[in-house]
Structure 1
Amino acid sequence: MPKSKVRKKNDYTINPANRTPVKVKLGPSSPVYVSVMLGFMLLGLAWLIVYYLAADSLTWMNNLGAYNFLIGFGFMIVGLVMTMRWR
């Protein structure tokens, strides 16, 4: 059986002159950013705990009904989304 020809592979290198530079902010996030991020998460948790424990005595919270879950989880999701930008 005849041997197949070996093909030479071309090196595909990226020309650095063709790349556009991207500015990247280095360094850790501000402590204020981290505080706000954690604050949103804790605020959502506190909202749900207060709803479960004291909704009967707080008429305005009792009137919101199931929207309390939306508000509480909404705060927590905002904090979670902020973690994507945290360094």
Structure 2
Amino acid sequence: MPESRRRKPKKATAARPASTVTAKRRSPSPRWFGGMIMAFFLIGIAYLLTYYFSNGGVLGMEALGGWNILIGFGFVVIGLGVATQWH
């Protein structure tokens, strides 16, 4: 019965680490960042409450009509967007 040839042993290669790119650590947000988030939330809520309780009768709000709701919720959405950047 013929004998099989011996295979040459594979050369040892340096194993690469799974991830050579190290993640940069983000520096913590400044102290005023949390206050800015809360300010956007509170301004939006105060604007909506003022609009609803006054039935739009506040000077300047009456001309905007239904846009007042968009403005109030806009401040809240901006607050949520800013909150996603906080770390």
Question: What is the rounded CA distance, in whole Å, between the counterparts of 1:35 and 1:18 in structure 2?
Answer: 37
User: What do residues 34-78 of structure 1 show as CA deviations (whole Å, max 9, x unaligned)?
Assistant: 00011001100000011112222x231011011011100000001
SS of 2:24's equivalent in the other structure is coil
Question: What is the rounded CA distance, in whole Å, between the counterparts of 1:51 and 1:18 in structure 2?
Answer: 54
Give the TM-score normalised by the residue count of structure 1. Answer: 0.70
Give the TM-score normalised by the residue count of structure 2. Answer: 0.70
Indicate whether 1:21 and 2:15 are aligned.
no
2:16 partner amino acid: N
Change (3 A) 1:76 1:18: closer
Q: Name the counterpart of 1:50.
A: 50
Question: What is the rounded CA distance, in whole Å, between the counterparts of 1:47 and 1:74 in structure 2?
Answer: 10
Gaps of 5+ in 1: 1-13
Question: What is the rounded CA distance, in whole Å, between the counterparts of 2:19 and 2:45 in structure 1?
Answer: 49
Change (3 A) 1:44 1:20: same
Percent of pairs with identical residues:
33
Question: What is the rounded CA distance, in whole Å, between the counterparts of 2:19 and 2:83 in structure 1?
Answer: 33
Give structure 1 regions of 4+ aligned residues with deviation exceeding 3 angstroms. Answer: none
User: Between Structure 1 and Structure 2, whose CA radius of gyration is higher?
Assistant: 2
Shift of 1:21: 2.6
Whichever structure has more helix as a proportion of its residues is 1
Q: Over aligned residue pairs, what C-alpha RMSD do you find?
A: 2.0
Indicate whether 1:37 and 2:33 are aligned.
no
Number of equivalent positions: 72
Question: What is the rounded CA distance, in whole Å, between the counterparts of 1:25 and 1:42 in structure 2?
Answer: 28
